[in-house]
Amino acid sequence: MNDRLKQILISSSQPDFRDQIEALHLKLKRKARFGGVEEKPVWAIIRNVSKKGDEAVAEYTEQYDHVILRPDQFRLSEEELKRAHTEIEKKEPKLLASIRQAIENVRNYQEEIFIANKKANEHPGIRYTPIRRVGICVPGASAPLPSTVIMTAVPAQVAGVKEIVVVSPPRYKESIHPVTLSVCYELCVTEVYRIGGAQAVVLLSGAENTRIHKVDKIVGPGNQWVQTAKLRQIGYVGIDSIAGPSEVLIVANEKANPAWVAADMLSQAEHSPGSAVLYTDSQQLAESVLTELKWQIKQLSRAEEAGKCLMDYGKIAAFENMDDIITAANDFAPEHLEVQCGDESREIAKKIDNAGAIFIGDYSPVAVGDYWAGPSHTLPTGQTAKFFSALSANDFIKATSIIEYDEEMLAASAEDIIRLAEIEGLSAHANSIRIRQQD
């Protein structure tokens, strides 16, 4: 594998350099969700679950998760959540303390940026109200993923969402990992189902023959199946973004530490599938990072998976100058963007408009955002950061326009409104104004 890794290093001196960059962007876009013929299995799940509901989900849970559950076994009881929390509290008190601090960090940040707390909510022409019921997708793994619950449920709570539903595949002893369940209990999220995948998305979107009530919005990260199902259910529910398999783009110059850059690339590659890309204007740094990757990957417990991800979705690209890198980075629109350019890091970061989250400087690896800093780690992938944003408390509210005219205000505007309505051929619109003036 190490000998093959040299293939991920490319240089602007190569005649096909631009083509390789464009091909990489397209590959990462496709990694985030299915398209065309690839979508057929997802459409089959959508049709089946929409009609058969819980029965179909039980069938898919057996097929994909290899767990046999009756529909009345989908939901975990509050007692089971409490038991998981008590177990963590006794066995891992320091872990629970870290979880509580992470929750506080996220809550503080989300409260600060929440638009409904700002002056805008005092404007008489608009009113913000929370979404009533929200579904959260937590990816399934043998290892726990408590951070995903924190990064999705806390922003929803800050926004005032009353009903939060968590779904996650039964990948840990035919259930959900107790650490994940303990975070649900810590946050007073008690409607938790051990189902996942595209089938859970469809069930939450509203289906026949199910005991699970429809949600109004579905959020959370997941694989291609989950993200494609979310995308196809828009209109039945709202969604946050296409938060697919993880990706990082690191922008670095000769001032960067090659060992640190390599470590940050591997931190995303180990997600499997995760993508890790370096854009630099230093050929020397590019070669040093490649050397570090070859050495560091040997130390990983998931070395084989990380190596495959680097081969499939990784790249070290040596550009001619930083201006070209900034242009390419904005076209990439990565989920995570790290800027490791010494004293120039902040200025370079200001020129990046398209990114889910930007990590500035040598001491801001993606892991800080994944667990601790406060912004949600649920971010748009596959170039969708050009039009989607990081999940925040503001994604869990709706804005309602408020219009209130009195007699004098309407009289002052009547002729203009009538004129505009009549030019559009909408005489009834015009008459709804005119009749009030005549009376």
Same domain, 213 and 115: yes
CA dist 127 and 148 (Å) reads 29
Q: How far is CA 93 from the centre of its chain?
A: 29
- The verdict on 297 and 364 lying in the same domain is yes
Are 205 and 279 within one domain?
no
Assess contact for 383 and 247: CB atoms under 8 A. no
3-state secondary structure of 233: coil
Read off the tokens for 314. Answer: 């990784």
Q: What is the pLDDT of residues 313-329, one digit of tens each?
A: 999 999 999 999 999 99
pLDDT for 130? 96
Whether 2 shows a pLDDT value over 70: the answer reads no
**Quick one: pLDDT band at residue 97, thresholds 50, 70, 90?**
very high
Given a contact cutoff of 8 angstroms between Cβ atoms, the answer to whether 87 and 99 are in contact is no
pLDDT at 141 over 80: no
Closest by Cα among 212, 198, 206 to 165: 212
Average pLDDT value for residue range 144-158: 95
The answer to whether residue 379 is domain-embedded is no
Shared domain for 291 and 142, answered yes or no, is: no
Tell me, what's the pLDDT at 120? 61
The domain containing residue 430 runs over which residues? Answer: 407-438
Q: Are residues 50 and 12 in the same domain?
A: no
Give me the mean pLDDT over the 82-95 stretch: 96
DSSP state of 393: G
Q: Which residue, of 239, 265, 298, is where some domain finishes?
A: 239
- Residue 337 shares a structural domain with residue 428: no
Tell whether 402 is covered by a domain. no
pLDDT tens for each residue of 212-232: 999 999 999 999 999 999 999
The predicted pLDDT at position 119 comes to 66
- Integer-rounded Cα radius of gyration of the chain: 25
- What pLDDT, on the 0 to 100 scale, is given for residue 31? 81
Q: What is the CATH number of the domain that holds 129?
A: 3.40.50.1980
Domain end point (choices 373, 389, 418): 373
Q: How confident is the model at residue 300 (pLDDT cuts 50, 70, 90)?
A: confident
Q: What is the pLDDT of residue 145?
A: 87
Q: Are residues 231 and 115 in the same domain?
A: yes
Same domain, 229 and 335: no
Q: What is the pTM of this model?
A: 0.93
Reported as a pLDDT band with limits 50, 70 and 90, residue 28 is confident
87 band by pLDDT with thresholds 50, 70 and 90: very high
Contact 74, 195 (CB under 8 A): yes
Q: What's the pLDDT at 124?
A: 85
Interatomic CA distance for residues 176 and 143, integer angstroms? 10
DSSP 325-358: HHHHHHHH--SEEEEE-GGGHHHHHHT----SEE
- Assess if residue 285 is contained within a domain: yes
The number of folded domains in the chain is: 3
Tell the burial category of 32 from Cβ atoms under 10 Å away from its Cβ (0-12, 13-18, 19+).
buried
pLDDT in tens, 159-168: 999 999 999 9
The pLDDT tens digits of the residues spanning 358-407 come to: 999 999 999 999 999 999 999 999 999 999 999 999 999 999 999 999 99
The model's pLDDT over 235-249, given as tens digits with 9 standing for 90+, comes to 999 999 999 888 999
**Residues annotated as catalytic (active site), given as ranges:** 335-336
Strand partners, 279: 251, 317
**47 shares a domain with 10:** no
Last residue of a domain, one of 373, 391, 424: 373
Question: Does one domain contain both 227 and 261?
Answer: no
Amino acid at residue number 29: K
Residue 386 included in any domain: no
Q: What was the pLDDT predicted at 29?
A: 86
E strand map for 131-242: 133-137, 163-167, 191-193, 217-219, 238-239
Residue 206 lies in a domain: yes
**pLDDT for residue 1 is more than 60:** no
Instruction: For residue 74, give Cα distances in angstroms to 46, 143, 196, 403.
Output: 19, 20, 10, 45
Residue 358 covered by a domain = yes
Residue 243: alpha-carbon gap to chain centroid: 3
